[in-house]
Amino acid sequence: MTRFSKMIMFAALIAALVVTGCSKPPVQEMDNAKAAMKAAQESGAEKCATEEYERAKAAVAAAEAKMAEAEQSGDKGALYKEAKDELLKAIADFEKAKEIASERSKINDQAQAELDTLKKQLEVDANADGAKYSETYQAAEAKLAKAQALIDNCEGGKALAILEQVKVDNAAIQREIIEGKAAAKKAEAERQAKLRAQMMKAQTENYKVIKGDNLWNISKDKYMNPFMWPLIYWSNKEQIKDPDLIFPGQIFKIRKHFEDDEKAKADNFAKTRGPWSLFDGK
């Protein structure tokens, strides 16, 4: 056999070995890709690294399709090589997806912990009638719901930014609750005071004037203070034209209660005018 013939035979043998080697399906690579897929799934890559995970998953599907096609083709080597290349890309993307998902999951967990804390605080505010007294309460509630939706979508970074706003809102809610309750308490006190005043003003009794009566003595009898007689005069002006002149048979309305400022005004009027001077029209 000539040297040239030996070279041709050697080349043919190498070519045969290459073809034979490439004709084997990339079973090991497929197993590695599926293991990488499982690891990526467990890290939450389906939710937290969707783009990379889906790209890797598509590469596995493409490799499976090429391997199936190779079984029906005479050119198995090229298809198996393409399938192997797809699987190697898939493994790389699954690893990348796992890495991204792990990092995002940490941020997500941090955001969820902060959200749970803020939610408990909002529940405390709710028990303190936060929805009633605070305009900021409902806005904070909506922000928490938005942050939860972002966390559920593995966007913890965006959720954390919103939660920082809620922390500021919490301070405002506390202030608004305190101010709102104080205002409500003041308004209720004023309402009760006004109601009491109206009730006291409505409490009157009738007094029939007898011979020898005068406002001074009637006041002394009814109010234990003769200087309060202007109160009777002012309450019965339609009958009393001159406080020094009242007549038997007249029926006066005697109020039982007066505010302090009314009593002070009556006392001043009585002491300034004098109980028995002629009426001067004041």
pLDDT band at 74 (very low <50, low <70, confident <90, very high): confident
Q: Where are the domains of the chain?
A: 3-105, 106-196, 203-273
Strand, coil or helix: 264: helix
Closest CA to 37 of 106, 109, 117, 93: 93
Q: Is the pTM of the predicted complex or chain greater than 0.95?
A: no
CATH 3.10.350.10 fits 203-273, yes or no: yes
110: Cα separation from own chain's centroid: 19
Q: Is the dihedral of CA 270, 274, 279, 281 positive or negative?
A: negative
pLDDT at 274: 53
Phi/psi for 75 (5° steps) reads -105, 65
d(CA 121, CA 228): 58
Cβ atoms of residues 59 and 86 within 8 Å: yes
DSSP state of 248: T
pLDDT band at 191 (very low <50, low <70, confident <90, very high): very high
pLDDT band at 203 (very low <50, low <70, confident <90, very high): confident
Range name among 129-133, 163-167, 212-216 with the lowest pLDDT average: 129-133
Range name among 11-20, 104-113, 124-133 with the lowest pLDDT average: 11-20
Q: What is the mean pLDDT of the chain?
A: 87
